Structure 1
Amino acid sequence: MKTALVYLALSLIAIVINDVYGLFGHGVHSASMTWMFLYPLLGGAVLYLLIFLLVPDIARFVAYRMFYNIYNSGIATLSLGSFLKGIFDIAGTSSVYIAVFYAIGELFVALGLVMLLVLAVNLKKSQA
């Protein structure tokens, strides 16, 4: 539950960053920066709230920490990639490395979700 609250706070910080950066963007906005708050909100706060409600005992597995670290790294990478893409869009330039941020972030998120699914199945088997 604490992780969900932290991600909710990070979503609010992302909104504030977008607004402050928009003040200095000379009227130029970027969809990537505007919507970057969705990564911590949906990928973080909502997911961890669902985990807390549906499988609260999953944290007792040792492998949960590996899921936690990999998944959170993916969300952080996606958020940072979105932030950098927003900066580049506002500056009127681009970088080929932004695609690397998205690819690695998506890989980490997918790997984390697969690990979470395996952990949830093992938890249900151990409870049966």
Structure 2
Amino acid sequence: MKSLAKNTVVYSLLTVFMIVFSFVYHLFSHGVSSKDMQFAFVWFLLSAGIYSVLLFVFPKFEKRAYYRLFMNLLNTASAWQVFGLVLKGVVDIAGGSSAYVPYFFIIANVAYGLSILAFVFVCLPFNRKKA
């Protein structure tokens, strides 16, 4: 459970940072706001919630074979998602457009899919019969 406490603190600090960043950016954007940037912090909350629920449902989850792969993919997906939302918010506030913003969401969705696949491998019971 030490890992749960550590991840909860890290995700909480990232959430607070995103809220403060959004607020400060809004102050300097001359009254223009973006929903994408305002709600970017939600992804960190969702990632922390997913991780917490998994540790409560599967208590020995941290000791499984592909646990680190799952966590790294989940963290990577969350980071790409939030970065894409912040970049989309900045571009929206600036009044422009960018062809590269959708790629952040595509990468995030691929990483989320791979993390789900890694989770399946973590939770599969590998009952091998010895010959």
TM above 0.5, yes or no, is yes
User: Structure 1: where are the runs of 5+ without partners?
Assistant: none
1: CA distance between counterparts of 2:36 and 2:23?
13
2: CA distance between counterparts of 1:49 and 1:36?
20
Q: 1:120 aligns with which of 106, 109, 123?
A: 123
CA RMSD of aligned residues (A): 1.6
1:56 aligned to 2:59? yes
1: CA distance between counterparts of 2:8 and 2:120?
19
1:22 aligned to 2:22? no
**What does the per-residue CA deviation read over 1:22-67, in whole Å, with 9 as the maximum and x for residues that have no partner?**
000100000110110111111x210111022111211112311111
TM-score where L is the length of structure 2: 0.88
- Contact 1:70/1:111 (8 A) holds in 2: yes
Determine what percentage of the aligned residue pairs are the same residue.
Answer: 33
Query: Which structure has the highest helix share of the two?
Result: 1
- Contact 1:70/1:108 (8 A) holds in 2: yes
| Equivalent position of 1:40 in the other structure | 44
1: CA distance between counterparts of 2:64 and 2:24?
41
| Equivalent position of 1:99 in the other structure | 102
**What does the per-residue CA deviation read over 1:87-111, in whole Å, with 9 as the maximum and x for residues that have no partner?**
1011111111110000000110121
Structure with larger Rg: 2
SS in 1 for 2:74: helix
| Equivalent position of 1:80 in the other structure | 83
1: CA distance between counterparts of 2:125 and 2:34?
43
